[in-house]
Each structure stands twice: as structure tokens, then as C-alpha cells.
Amino acid sequence: MRVLWLSPWLRTLTRVQVDALTAAGHECLVVTTDQHYEKVAARPDERVLDPSIKDPRTVPALARVTAEARRFAPDVVVSELMHDPRWLPMTRLAPLVQVVHDDRPHDATEERPWHRRAVLDHQTRAAAAVVAPSAHVAAVLSARFGRRVDVVPLTSDVPESALPPVPVPTEGRRDMVLLGRMSPYKNVELTLRAWARHTASPDYRGDRLLLLGNGPLDAVTLPEHVEWRREHFAYADVLPVLARAKASLAHYRLATQSGVQVLSMQLGIPTVVSDHGGLPEFAPASLPPLGVDDEAGLAAVFSRLADPAVAAELGASAREHYCAHFSADRAAVTWGAVFGRVARA
């Protein structure tokens, strides 16, 4: 099938999914922007637009890309976090598949202006199909909009070819990592208290807790053996650090899905998640979710994973779980089923 994919924000994830779809025999054209924090050069299957709505100089390029999309004659259009009303004509070139990642903002820092919400809600109501990355989000959207919502598994936005050697063996494991945009919903303060409990226990083995990322989180008091690197990182900087970690933390207060969770499993890292939102759906049975306020339980998990042999064993299990359920190839099969149903209808 010919797939026109509109993704102004999730450029790296779109690339991984489009590559898997291309390998499965589909033909794809991507319309995107350069707003993703991972800066990359444009590919032959990408058209990169300037997102400045109020700048009239962006209109000719938009008109050219819209005309090219029309000539491409897609069988289906995918729209993902696209709230620019100027792009709406491209959503009408074929049956629309609307992708909705979150059923609500994680906190006040992620609230969208009303006009963006209006564009997204319009597409969700009008689309031929709606897709969510978790059953949790699908159930909320289905109740809100009164329609069927398909679940396509969330894959990692890092291609397998870009990974360092994984999984890292036992002797290479060290430290635990909390990666991403540091926001209040990430449950950082409870994590720090649990970490202090762990480092005061006889199970502590000299690891650091690494907070990797900038964001709106207020300054917090860091206990011993914690390092906060408040920067925006490229994957080339982060992947080697994350790949050798004993654990990756996604013990969030609210999360409908987590790219950090699937990336960590892809790397073969045990990933500690809370029992809120869609996180439990992604977790392997070898490391079940914890209560979001379970400080003692989180400290106990830190102590368990401090043993590098345990970390390596659970990490291998996490990677097997990722490959079986969340790889890009697995996602492409589900995407193909959704596209086929929409085209037949």
C-alpha cells in the first residue's frame, strides 16, 4: 500500500516504523519537521516543513509538499500529533488513520492550547481508524469518542542497527538510570528517597543513580551517589550509558506509554515501572510493576538489581520480551492489518 505519514514531532519513531513498513512491501512518504530533539539529515522519503504557522514564507514549501502528496496518491494517510490546520488538506487525500499517544496531559507543563486540541479532536472524530499504543489509552479514547480504537504496539525509535552491542554482559553492568525530560510526573522525589534507603542498606554495591535530562522539574535535594546531568542529549551520548545500566526507571505517577520503557527493554535493561497508566502492559513478567507510592518496594528492587548477575539475567528477559512483542517488525504487521481494513472499508 501507499502510505502518507504526517508526523511533525515524532520523526525518529516514524523513521523506524516506516522502514519496517517498507521492508514489508509498503511504499511510504513522510511529511515532518525538524522539531525533534534528535537532529538528523533529511532522507529521500521525507519532506521537512517549517512549522512556523504565522510566517508567510513557509507557504510555498507547504503548497509544493501538498501537491507532491496528492501526486503520491496514497491509499491511507497516517496523522500523528499533527495539529497544524494548514496540513489538514493532506489528511483528506485518503482514508485517515489517526494516532493518539496519550489520553491526557501528563501534567500542567504538557497542556496544549485549545486550538491544537480542537484540531486533534476533529481528526480523531473524523478518522477512518484511530490507533493507540496501549489498551489503556484505547479504552479511554473509545469511551470519550464512542468509537473503535485499535492498539498498535509501541516500538523503540532507535533502529536495531544503531544499538551498541547488547545485551551487556554481567561484568559490564553498573549504575541505574532515570532518562528523559524531567517532569513532575516522573515521580523523582519518591525515587530519590528509595535510592537513599538502598544506599544505606548492606545491599548497596557502589552504583550511582544517574538522572539524564533537562526539564521543568523543580530543583530537588540529591542524596549521596546521585548525579543529575541536566542536558538535552543525543542518542549517541545516552545509549552507551543506558545499555550498561543495571536498571532503567519508568516508575511514573502517570504514563499512558513510555518510549524510555521500550528503548530500555530493547537494550536489554531491566525496567522498573509503576502500576499506573499503560506501563504495566509493556512490562515483562520477570519484573512486575510496583505501586506508584511504594517507596520500600522500590528500594527493595534497587537492592535486588544491585547484583549484576540478576541485572543481566532480567535484562536478557526484557530484551526477549521486547523482540517478541514490541519490535518494529511486529508493529508493522499490526499496522498492515489496520491499513488493509481501512482500505477495504
71-88 pLDDT per residue, tens: 999 999 999 999 999 999
Amino acid at 189: E
R_g of the chain, CA atoms, integer Å: 21
pLDDT bracket for residue 106 (50, 70, 90)? low
> What CATH number is associated with residue 247?
3.40.50.2000
Residues 149 and 249 in one domain: no
Q: Which domain holds residue 339?
A: 2-155+328-344
Residues 237 and 145 in one domain: no
Interatomic CA distance for residues 204 and 153, integer angstroms: 36
Amino acid at 304: R
Residues 99 and 180 in one domain: no
Q: Are 287 and 270 in contact (CB under 8 A)?
A: yes
Residues 127 and 145 in one domain: yes
Interatomic CA distance for residues 109 and 47, integer angstroms: 29
Residues 279 and 317 in one domain: yes
Residues 175 and 310 in one domain: yes
Residues 264 and 338 in one domain: no
pLDDT bracket for residue 110 (50, 70, 90)? low
171-186 pLDDT per residue, tens: 999 999 999 989 889 9
Amino acid at 147: R
Residues 81 and 181 in one domain: no
Residues 111 and 171 in one domain: no
Residues 239 and 101 in one domain: no
Averaged pLDDT score across all residues of the chain: 94
Residues 108 and 212 in one domain: no
128-141 pLDDT per residue, tens: 999 999 999 999 99
Residue 109 predicted with pLDDT over 70: no
Residues 314 and 165 in one domain: yes
